[in-house]
Structure 1
Amino acid sequence: MALFLLIFAVCLFIIGGMVLVLLFSRTPRYRTEPEHLLELFDKALANQVGETEWNVVINYPIRHDDYLDGVRRRAQHLMQEHGRPWQVAQGKPLLDKTGHAELTALRNHLAAHQRLRERQRNES
């Protein structure tokens, strides 16, 4: 009888602990910030990004900032229009020349927008 109670108490402790862990844990969230996009764009412009890394960041919706989500969607559109992911394995760029120029403009626009936000935040 004592062995039964001991096993029952240990099982109850383990199951109760698991229930508490599940109740108090949150779903992990990835929050894309402007710095992440700028870093990805810099890598893409320097031909140092792979298709997988590009897709992980660009295909994940940004729900906390409409402006950033617009930039993400524009980059996604650039990949659809000017992307050459099959040539990355050969050491060639992810985007063609037109896409590279448009991504440079998008990157510069995002960087200027981020500097403006920082300046406004510092003045307030």
Structure 2
Amino acid sequence: MTIAVTVCLSFAVFAVIVWGLMHMRTPRFRMERAQFQRGLEDVIAGQADDNEWRALTCYPMRHDPPLEQLRLECLQIEEEEYTGKIPYLFTEAGLSKLREVRERLLALPQQD
């Protein structure tokens, strides 16, 4: 009798664990426009380091195509104007281009 109860309980626990693992979703990082704007402003102001810049530009933003386009422009600016020196990670020309990206970001229509 105790063996049957043990086997049933073991099976139930195993089934719950398998069910839970099947329904778990992988964590997703999703940057919104306001977060992107703050990150750009920090870089422009010289208050961001390389890690913050990487967090800003290294994750695709498939949920927001206009924001993804701005992210790709930032990567292009990085290729041309990035110095990596603290406090300003970019040359003056790069900072100017990033200000233009920020202005275009502010001009985007609001999301629903």
> RMSD between aligned alpha carbons?
2.0
Which residue identity lines up with residue 19 of structure 2 in the other structure? L
TM-score (norm 1): 0.78
> Tell me, what secondary structure is at the counterpart of 2:39?
helix
How many percent identity over aligned positions? 25
Q: How far does residue 6 in structure 1 lie from its aligned partner after superposition?
A: 4.4
Change in CA separation of 1:15 and 1:95 when aligned onto 2, cut-off 3 Å:
same
Instruction: Name the counterpart of 1:107.
Output: 102
Q: Which moved more, 1:99-108 or 1:25-34?
A: 25-34
Q: How many residues align?
A: 112
2:6 is the alignment partner of 1:11: no
Instruction: Name the counterpart of 2:40.
Output: 41
2:91 is the alignment partner of 1:96: yes
Q: How does 1:1-124 map to 2 (within 5 A)?
A: 2=2, 4-85=3-84, 87-88=85-86, 92-113=87-108, 117-118=109-110
Q: How far does residue 32 in structure 1 lie from its aligned partner after superposition?
A: 2.2
TM-score (norm 2): 0.85
